[in-house]
Structure 1
Amino acid sequence: MARLQGKRTLITGGTSGIGLETAKQFLSEGARVIVTGIHPDSLANAKAELGSEVLVLQADSASIAAQQKLAQSVQAHYGQLDVAFLNAGVSVWLPIEEWTENMFDHSFNINVKGPYFLIQALLPTFADPAAVVLNTSINAHVGAIRSSVYAATKAALLNMSKTLSSELLGRGIRVNAVSPGPVDTPLYDKLGIPEAYREQVNKDITASIPSGRFGTPEEVAKAVLYLASDESRWTVGSEIIVDGGRTLNA
């Protein structure tokens, strides 16, 4: 069954990790796909993996101008948009003493401001009905040390899945969220953990997950696929937590 047959979809941060895997699953379910990224290497890799039918665009989530340009490109390519998976994000974990104003603003610009103004810019393009899925995080619920700024950005994004649902449902736009727990993706590699401590950190994280392992991009993408499809048409302003039970004891 092609659950997204003919649906016009956009995946930000779609050139690696959860975004790239979601793009593959969308394609296998009959969707048309646009993905965005920022780094030339990952853009080239996505083009090679996803094929010539997928439009791969460079777009900086921290830039409102770039988000507005992206919305224009989506409209020019599709006319209307059925599904948006807003997945682009940055994960920086530091103790409070090490944060600067510029670093703080950069995290909020990418994780909160960019997605918010992309939705705004896409409003004229969304079909009726349309589905928006926000990639948040269990850190919106869990008080992990060193995660103060990252967790705050994800809590803000998660709240948008509710407030924007209330505001946009009358236009036929459903907004929902997927909140992954620890997932083995390139984003995890960017957390700045010294290689010498990586094995111990892996063990500590795994020990906190009742299922006993990290999640996979494929497992998160399955939840996104459900929220993007018509199967979830009565699911509004909701959150699907995909975390191997990590939040059971939070």
Structure 2
Amino acid sequence: MNRFQNKNVLVTGGTSGIGLATALAYAAEGARVIVTGRDQAALDQAASSLGADALAIRNDAASIAGSRELANALSAKGIKLDAVFLNAGVAKFATLDAVDESLWDLTFNTNVKGPYFQIQALAPLLNAGASIVINGSINAHIGMPASSVYAASKAAVISLAKTLSAELLPAGARVNVLSPGPVETPLYGKLGMDQATLEATAAQIQSQVPLGRFGKPAEIASTVLHLSAPESAFIVGTEIVADGGMSQL
């Protein structure tokens, strides 16, 4: 299939995990892919795997200035976007008594403020029929202990998909959320836990998934592409959950 032939797509946080899997899936279907990230070596490696037309741009997803810089960089190259996957995010889990202002600010700056102002900055660059997909999380729904700040940030972006779709539809763009359950990505190594706690947490989470396993990045990527393609043009301002049945228990 070549659903994205001659299309420009942007994946924030596109150098590993779900972001990279999605960028590769777009490229395999003919897209010119732009990925962002903070680590230059990872950006260079991602660009080399995405084809000669790919762009890799160093960018801070939590920064309003960074949002504007990214939009300006694309505009300077004459790039208009057909699909955007706002994937960059942070997950730091802590119990209520351990949460401090810095954890709150890091989480909400990256997971809520960043996507919001990135959409604002990119709006003039969206082609008619463009699709924006925001990476959510089932943590917004399941009440997992120690996830209060992270879950609240993901609940916020689910709400944003509804309101921003209403605002952008007159210009021909739509916004949706894809909320994964536990997925085999490097994000689980960045939760701020020691190895023993991380392994115990992963085992406990997996036991709650009816399919009995974590998801694969490529499985999430396939749904992002569906939401980005014209075939899903009637899906607007909503959330698709891909969690192996975890949130249905």
1:43 & 1:2 partners in 2: Cα distance? Answer: 25
> Which amino acid in the other structure matches residue 103 of structure 1?
L
Deviations for 1:198-221, whole angstroms, at most 9, x for unmatched residues?
A: 333222111100000000100000
2:39 & 2:120 partners in 1: Cα distance? Answer: 25
Aligned to 1:116: 116
Q: In the comparison of the two structures, how many residue pairs are matched?
A: 249
Deviations for 1:118-153, whole angstroms, at most 9, x for unmatched residues?
A: 111111111112110000001111100000000000
> Which amino acid in the other structure matches residue 147 of structure 2?
S
- The alpha carbon displacement at 1:78 in A equals 4.0
- The alpha carbon displacement at 1:76 in A equals 2.3
Aligned to 1:57: 57
Summarize the alignment of residues 84-99 of structure 1 with structure 2, pairs less than 5 Å apart.
84-99=84-99
Gaps of 5+ in 1: none
Alignment of 1:152 with 2:152, yes or no, is: yes
- The 8 Å contact of residues 33 and 50 in structure 2, kept in 1 or not, is answered as no
Aligned to 2:195: 195
> Which amino acid in the other structure matches residue 98 of structure 1?
A
1:239 & 1:76 partners in 2: Cα distance? Answer: 33
Summarize the alignment of residues 183-222 of structure 1 with structure 2, pairs less than 5 Å apart.
183-222=183-222
Aligned to 2:44: 44
1:51 & 1:28 partners in 2: Cα distance? Answer: 9
Hey, which bits of structure 1, 4+ residues long, moved more than 4 A? none
Percentage identity across paired residues of the two chains: 51
TM-score normalised by length of structure 2:
0.97
Residue 36 of structure 2 aligns to a residue whose secondary structure is: strand
1:205 & 1:80 partners in 2: Cα distance? Answer: 40
2:108 & 2:85 partners in 1: Cα distance? Answer: 18
1:93 & 1:75 partners in 2: Cα distance? Answer: 37
> Which amino acid in the other structure matches residue 58 of structure 1?
R
Deviations for 1:64-92, whole angstroms, at most 9, x for unmatched residues?
A: 00110001112223431111110000000
Deviations for 1:151-187, whole angstroms, at most 9, x for unmatched residues?
A: 0000001111111111111110110110000001011
- The 8 Å contact of residues 92 and 103 in structure 2, kept in 1 or not, is answered as no
- The alpha carbon displacement at 1:5 in A equals 1.4
CA RMSD of aligned residues (A): 1.2
Gaps of 5+ in 2: none
Deviations for 1:7-41, whole angstroms, at most 9, x for unmatched residues?
A: 11111000110000000000111111100001233
2:139 & 2:166 partners in 1: Cα distance? Answer: 24
- The 8 Å contact of residues 189 and 198 in structure 2, kept in 1 or not, is answered as no
- The alpha carbon displacement at 1:48 in A equals 3.0
Aligned to 1:243: 243
TM-score normalised by length of structure 1:
0.96
Alignment of 1:141 with 2:151, yes or no, is: no
Aligned to 1:20: 20
1:161 & 1:199 partners in 2: Cα distance? Answer: 33
Aligned to 2:3: 3
- The alpha carbon displacement at 1:45 in A equals 2.3
- The 8 Å contact of residues 14 and 20 in structure 2, kept in 1 or not, is answered as yes
- The 8 Å contact of residues 75 and 81 in structure 1, kept in 2 or not, is answered as no
- The 8 Å contact of residues 138 and 180 in structure 2, kept in 1 or not, is answered as yes
- The alpha carbon displacement at 1:4 in A equals 1.2
1:52 & 1:7 partners in 2: Cα distance? Answer: 15
1:3 & 1:79 partners in 2: Cα distance? Answer: 19
Aligned to 1:172: 172
> Which amino acid in the other structure matches residue 15 of structure 1?
T
- The alpha carbon displacement at 1:244 in A equals 0.4
Residue 77 of structure 2 aligns to a residue whose secondary structure is: helix
2:78 & 2:148 partners in 1: Cα distance? Answer: 39
- The 8 Å contact of residues 8 and 79 in structure 2, kept in 1 or not, is answered as no
- The alpha carbon displacement at 1:197 in A equals 3.1
